[in-house]
Amino acid sequence: MLELDREKLPNHLAIIMDGNGRWAQERMLKRIIGHQKGVETVRSIVEESSLIGIRYLTLFAFSAENWLRPRSEVKSLMALLKKYIAMETPRLMKNNIRFNVIGDLRELPADVGDAVQSAAARTAENTGMVLTLALSYGSRQEILTAVKRLAEDIAAGRISSETVDEKIFTTYLYTYGLPDPDFLIRTSGEMRISNFLLWQLAYAELYFTEVNWPDFGKDEFYKALGSFQARERRYGLTSGQLRNRS
């Protein structure tokens, strides 16, 4: 396993957990079996991330567009989510992890919404890693909702349009309070963002692996983190400027 530099870990790691369905189909299994295996990967990556000292982990679990999947798959996914959240809460408590969620929660079935709220409330005082699940999440929808709320505040005179800057705008996003992700991992070989954190990923390092999410083990995780550590993040500057700064 690769040696990691603990000083150079991403502060906020975001993951698009993709390839559960294909993992199952390649084995002549039902797609939901792939989702069940995917939950095991979630468990191990959450634990490992918290152990090595990642501060924020955000997992794309269900997109706004995923509602359009076959009804039976959506139903199974919702049932699995509810079970995962209820089962994991004691482990989150043990590991001092704070549970958080982003997305249009009004769309969730009431029992899943309740499970989410209760896990967030129970873990609210935890001071370790912040685990955020993106559920019923779409980034364009998030940005539009933010713009509408901001427009209402401007119209009502609560804020003046001249003062609106990036910092103020981000307070209207679901992710308010979370720093921007430094590193994005997507599994299963797809090289796209699929409407995930479009604003927040502006300067994230991107990493794509062919491995499907149920097979994304510790070795693969360390390989991804090793890739992050080898990169130079220039934010528009030159390498020379960066060297002079440090």
Q: Catalytic residues, which ones?
A: 18, 66
* Angle subtended at Cα 10 by Cα 8 and Cα 15, rounded to the nearest 5 degrees: 150
17 vs 130 by CB, closer to ligand IPE: 17
Which residues on neighbouring strands pair with residue 58, listed in sequence order? 14, 132
The one of Mg ion, ligand IPE, none whose footprint includes residue 63, by CB under 5 to 8 A per kind, is: ligand IPE
Decide: is 19 part of the binding site for ligand IPE (CB under 6 A).
yes
Residue spans of beta strands (DSSP E) within the chain: 12-16, 56-63, 98-102, 130-137, 183-186, 205-208
Please identify, among the stretches 41-49, 186-194, 215-223, 224-232, the one whose residues bind ligand IPE according to the rule CB under 6 A.
186-194
Decide: is 83 part of the binding site for ligand IPE (CB under 6 A).
no
18 vs 88 by CB, closer to Mg ion: 18
Angstrom distance (rounded) from CA 43 to CA 182: 22
14-33 residues in contact with Mg ion (CB under 5 A) are 18
Angstrom distance (rounded) from CA 196 to CA 16: 8
56-75 residues in contact with ligand IPE (CB under 6 A) are 60-63, 66
The one of ligand IPE, Mg ion, none whose footprint includes residue 229, by CB under 5 to 8 A per kind, is: none
What's 213's DSSP letter? G
Angstrom distance (rounded) from CA 53 to CA 47: 10
The residue with tokens 């969730």 is 108
The one of Mg ion, ligand IPE, none whose footprint includes residue 17, by CB under 5 to 8 A per kind, is: ligand IPE
Residue 208 zone, left/alpha/beta (φ > 0; ψ -120 to 50; rest): beta
Please identify, among the stretches 16-24, 45-53, 93-101, 123-131, the one whose residues bind ligand IPE according to the rule CB under 6 A.
16-24
Decide: is 18 part of the binding site for ligand IPE (CB under 6 A).
yes
Tell me the two tokens of residue 124.
């609210």
57 vs 150 by CB, closer to ligand IPE: 57
- Point out which residues bind ligand IPE (CB under 6 A): 16-22, 60-63, 66, 77, 188, 190, 192, 194
